[in-house]
Amino acid sequence: MLPETIPDTAPAPVGFGESLKYWLKLGFISFGGPAGQIAMMHLELVERRRWISEQRFLHALNYCMLLPGPEAQQLATYIGWLMHGVKGGIAAGVLFVLPSLFILVALTWIYVSFGSLPAVAGILYGIKPAVTAIVVFAAYRIGSRALKHGVLWAIAAAAFVAIFALNIPFPYIVLGAAVLGMVGGKIMPDKFKAAGGHGTSDKDYGAALIDDDTPTPGHARFSWARLSALAIIGLVLWGSVMALLSGQQTLFTMGGFFTKAALVTFGGAYAVLPYVYQGGVEQYQWLTAHQMIDGLALGETTPGPLIMVVAFVGFIGGWSKALFGPDTLFWAGVAGASVATFFTFLPSFLFILAGGPLVERTHGDLKFTAPLTGITAAVVGVILNLAVFFAYHVLWPNGLTLPVSTTSLLSGFEWFSALVGIAAFIALFRYKTGIMQVIGACAATGLAYSFIKPLLS
């Protein structure tokens, strides 16, 4: 709600220490996925504290919509950078992620150490169908916003067939969709204008520290020299850490893999999860398919970006490969989680700190937005494939007997999981229930069922 009297003077300048306190607090309370995280930042930074105006906030958000990577974390990095330069951007981005890393490491250790206990197993049993419903709902939500006509629907369908039936790696699907978008933007530009978007707003919350007419600070203006320097620093940092890991093959492989994953995260975490699955489960066998579902469940229940599920993958990979011997499994897991997190988020910092001003100069230009429109359409098909993958492993945990028949379909089917998943989807779609509430209710249901099931058999 707007205040009765709109302040006409900007608040007092914010010191670096004060901003650190806010970013640390945000790192511990940033539940609700990117939409919830962006809403939290808007409420606190635009409406209450007035550190940045509505228009400048939306402008920053539109930067992040054009980039691969977690947009909420990049938005925090951008605002921190705009306020206090490179150190502000790094602090905001790191503090947005760090609490989630610590929490996920602790939860993953509990998972691998005590996951077989009946109570823990029951909770996970209830959460798995909820996660499936969440992914289906994500496909619907993104699809309803992005697929505005038949051409984009065709790209989405082609992407689904490519990854589901042809097993084409996700990066190639992204590249193909970008090429289709680029060509489509030239021959039918009206079909490839950027879909969705955040637009503009006429709301006024009063004078802000960084207001609509506040000149762009010197450190945020585009400069080829600054872009080149930051790009070189980023590459040296990446190469140095990779060199340090070269003596440990699994960690070295993780560094390269999660770097590639970070560069194809157009469309958010749900879009890149199939790629992480292909590498982590099928190619490198760091974890199993069921563990991947459990990891997403844990990621949904912790603060921070959902892409932090990579920390779970890294931890399980380090633990399962016993990197430092059987007596140091915990530290092997910590090393894997840290490597996965570092290489996943390093490109995001570089995109904002080095490329943000350059992206701003090209924002709204069709030759740049049309490929992204094609990618967004393909992402819908990829997320739908992820939903099918999760549904199969949740509803038929022991797999299907070939050849598939009515008997094999029904014999191992998890009816209770199906009912929980349907109820979770209805809660999300019809009643707009929050993700945390849905997961909590499904976890409690699974726990209760784990105690009742032995009495029924």
Q: Does the bond joining 303 to the residue before it have cis omega, within 30 degrees of 0?
A: no
Average pLDDT over residues 109-135: 83
- Asked if residue 241 is part of any domain, the answer here is yes
Which pLDDT belongs to residue 1? 42
- Asked if residue 263 is part of any domain, the answer here is yes
Which pLDDT belongs to residue 220? 75
- Asked if residue 312 is part of any domain, the answer here is yes
Which pLDDT belongs to residue 195? 47
Domain ranges, residue 192:
101-196+224-393
Number of helices (H), then strands (E), belonging to the chain: the values are 18, 0
Q: What is the pLDDT of residues 87-119, one digit of tens each?
A: 999 999 999 999 999 999 998 999 898 876 778
- Asked if residue 168 is part of any domain, the answer here is yes
What is the pLDDT confidence band of residue 174, given thresholds at 50, 70 and 90? confident
Q: What is the pLDDT of residues 27-44, one digit of tens each?
A: 887 765 676 677 778 888
7-16, 121-130, 402-411: range with lowest mean pLDDT: 402-411
**282: CB partners within 8 A, 6+ apart:** none
Mean pLDDT of the chain: 84
pTM value surpassing 0.95: no
- Asked if residue 12 is part of any domain, the answer here is no
Half-sphere exposure of 258 (CA within 13 A, CB side): 30
What is the pLDDT confidence band of residue 273, given thresholds at 50, 70 and 90? confident
Which pLDDT belongs to residue 217? 77
Q: What is the DSSP letter of 195?
A: P
Which pLDDT belongs to residue 32? 56
- For residue 200, pLDDT beyond 50: no
- Asked if residue 354 is part of any domain, the answer here is yes
Q: Which strand (E) or helix (H) includes residue 413?
A: none
- Asked if residue 82 is part of any domain, the answer here is no
Q: Are 27 and 96 in contact (CB under 8 A)?
A: yes
Q: Are 371 and 182 in contact (CB under 8 A)?
A: yes
- For residue 416, pLDDT beyond 80: yes
What is the distance between the alpha carbons of residues 193 and 184, in angstroms, rounded to a whole number?
10
Q: Which strand (E) or helix (H) includes residue 419?
A: helix 415-429
State how far Cα 137 lies from the chain centre: 15
Q: Report DSSP letters for 152-170, one per residue.
A: HHHHHHHHHHHHHTS---H
- Asked if residue 70 is part of any domain, the answer here is no
Residues β-bridged to residue 52 = 210
Number of domains in the chain: 1
What is the amino acid identity at position 21? K
